[in-house]
């Protein structure tokens, strides 16, 4: 397990490599990127990393957290460690902000593309797997989660 901060959650149930988790509210930094999934996620990751590494109004570096999420707005959702959501050809890539911050205390992004949002408490189905999160691997694990 990594030493990177992770959001608080309560384990509801687990079976093999799948868990149902209730997550506490969290704050996310989000950027929306168009294009093919892998390229869009890489681009979004760079923009968000730039924000947490000091490209903000306070020039303040923040700690990296996990998971990094990306969403495809058609509500194709998955965590472990990635959530994916797509709307048309747009991907939402998100970093969970450290728990010590609130929306009021987070440094404001210098980039107009980075948006800070509050995510209420919610339940996620999570699947742990090793290997790359490529398109085929993701499809396979979504089938497993749905089953």
> How does pLDDT run across 84-93, given as a tens digit for each residue?
556 667 889 9
pTM for this entry: 0.80
Contacts 24+ apart (CB under 8 A), 108-111: 108/56, 108/57, 108/58, 109/29, 109/51, 109/55, 109/56, 109/57, 110/51, 110/55, 110/56, 110/57, 111/31, 111/47, 111/50, 111/51, 111/55
The domain segmentation of the chain, as residue ranges, is 24-120
56-114: pLDDT as tens digits: 999 999 988 877 777 664 333 333 334 555 666 788 999 999 999 999 999 999 999 99
What class, spelled out in words, does domain 24-120 have in CATH? alpha beta
């Amino acid at each position: 397990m990594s030493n990177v901060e992770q959001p608080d959650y309560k384990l509801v149930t687990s079976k093999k490599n799948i868990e149902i988790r209730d997550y506490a509210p969290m704050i996310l930094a989000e950027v929306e990127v168009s294009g093919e999934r892998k390229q869009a996620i890489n681009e979004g990751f760079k923009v968000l990393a730039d924000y947490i590494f000091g490209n903000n109004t306070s020039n303040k570096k923040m700690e990296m957290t996990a998971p990094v999420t990306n969403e495809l707005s058609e509500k194709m959702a998955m965590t472990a460690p990635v959530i994916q959501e797509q709307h048309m050809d747009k991907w939402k890539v998100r970093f969970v902000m450290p728990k010590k911050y609130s929306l009021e205390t987070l440094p404001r992004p210098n980039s107009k593309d980075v948006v800070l949002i509050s995510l209420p408490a919610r339940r996620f189905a999570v699947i742990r797997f090793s290997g790359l999160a490529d398109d085929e691997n993701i499809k396979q694990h979504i089938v497993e989660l749905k089953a």
